[in-house]
Amino acid sequence: MSQSQSVHPSWNKDTHPQAVIAWALAKYDTDLIMTSGFNLNGVVLIDMAVNAGYRGKVLFVDTGYHFRETLETRDALTEHFPELEFLSLSAHRPDDQMYQKDPNKCCELRKVIPLQEKLNELAPKALLSARSHDQSDTRKDLRFIELAEPQSKINPLIYWDRERLERYTKERNLPINPLYWDGFLSIGCGPCTRAVRPGEHSRAGRWAGTGKTECGLWTSSGI
């Protein structure tokens, strides 16, 4: 039996993400926290979390390499959701060319460590994640819940595909990063993101051609 099934036996692909968020809020209360890069999935998750009663922080790591449109989307979301506290974390920026020489080290310094430091300070027991199965092969087996120390991960959107997410954002009139509509289906730092080509996974434009698929925030060595 999977971790999700053992926690909540009736959950399946038809379970609404907001029900999963509501469960997490009831269980973790103020020990639940969100991080976001303000991609399509992330915006949907933020809206659903607010609808479910979340009133906490949204952590965003400003690596210094984000697209202007991403920062503008953050600002639009801050205005759209006054009930939330959006926190932009400053990255460690020791070498401006590190993304070319050692992207794993660059992600560690500019993303993973700043977030881990903030999480060490806040010490939440669980994190809401916007990851979904159709984003990449590395995410296709995700469960609703990953029990772990020091933080469990709650993944309410695993069964929602792009079409459904897009429909939701339109119905809810949510601010979306305009680069998304230009084919940037997953948007990270400018030097490491390209538009996705027809037939590719939504994260295929991240670190394209390098073999790297994750920044490390959500891997076992990360949070």
Active site residues: 215
Q: Which of 56, 156, 175, 188 binds ligand SF4 (CB under 6 A)?
A: 188
With contact defined as beta carbons under 8 Å apart, do 191 and 99 qualify?
Answer: yes
Residue 143 burial by Cβ neighbours in a 10 Å radius (0-12, 13-18, 19+)? middle
| Minimum distance, C-beta of residue 84 to ligand SF4, in the bound complex (Å) | 24
| Minimum distance, C-beta of residue 22 to ligand SF4, in the bound complex (Å) | 33
Q: What is the DSSP letter of 206?
A: B
Phi/psi region, residue 42 (left: phi>0; alpha: psi -120 to 50; beta: rest), is: alpha
- In the complex with ligand SF4, which residue's Cβ is closer, 24 or 187? 187
CA pair distance 206, 208, nearest whole angstrom: 5
For residues 77 to 106, the per-residue mask of contacts with ligand SF4, x marking binding by CB under 6 A and - elsewhere, is ----------------------x---x--x
CB atoms within 10 A of CB 5: 14
Q: Which of 57, 111, 139, 203 binds ligand SF4 (CB under 6 A)?
A: 111
CA pair distance 71, 67, nearest whole angstrom: 7
Residue 97 burial by Cβ neighbours in a 10 Å radius (0-12, 13-18, 19+)? exposed
Q: How many residues bind ligand SF4 (CB under 6 A)?
A: 13
Decide if residue 216 touches ligand SF4 (CB under 6 A).
no
Decide if residue 63 touches ligand SF4 (CB under 6 A).
yes
Decide if residue 107 touches ligand SF4 (CB under 6 A).
yes
C-alpha angle 13/14/17, rounded to 5°?
90
User: Interacting stretch for ligand SF4, rule CB under 6 A, among 46-54, 107-115, 158-166, 179-187?
Assistant: 107-115
User: Interacting stretch for ligand SF4, rule CB under 6 A, among 138-146, 160-168, 172-180, 186-194?
Assistant: 186-194
Decide if residue 187 touches ligand SF4 (CB under 6 A).
no
The residue number with the shortest CB distance to ligand SF4 is 189
With contact defined as beta carbons under 8 Å apart, do 195 and 183 qualify?
Answer: yes
User: Interacting stretch for ligand SF4, rule CB under 6 A, among 4-12, 132-140, 153-161, 189-197?
Assistant: 189-197
Strands across the sheet containing 85-90 = 85-90, 57-62, 32-35, 126-128, 152-154, 145-146
| Minimum distance, C-beta of residue 105 to ligand SF4, in the bound complex (Å) | 8
Decide if residue 160 touches ligand SF4 (CB under 6 A).
no
CA pair distance 191, 168, nearest whole angstrom: 30
Site of interaction with ligand SF4 (CB under 6 A): 63, 65, 99, 103, 106-107, 110-111, 188-189, 191-192, 215
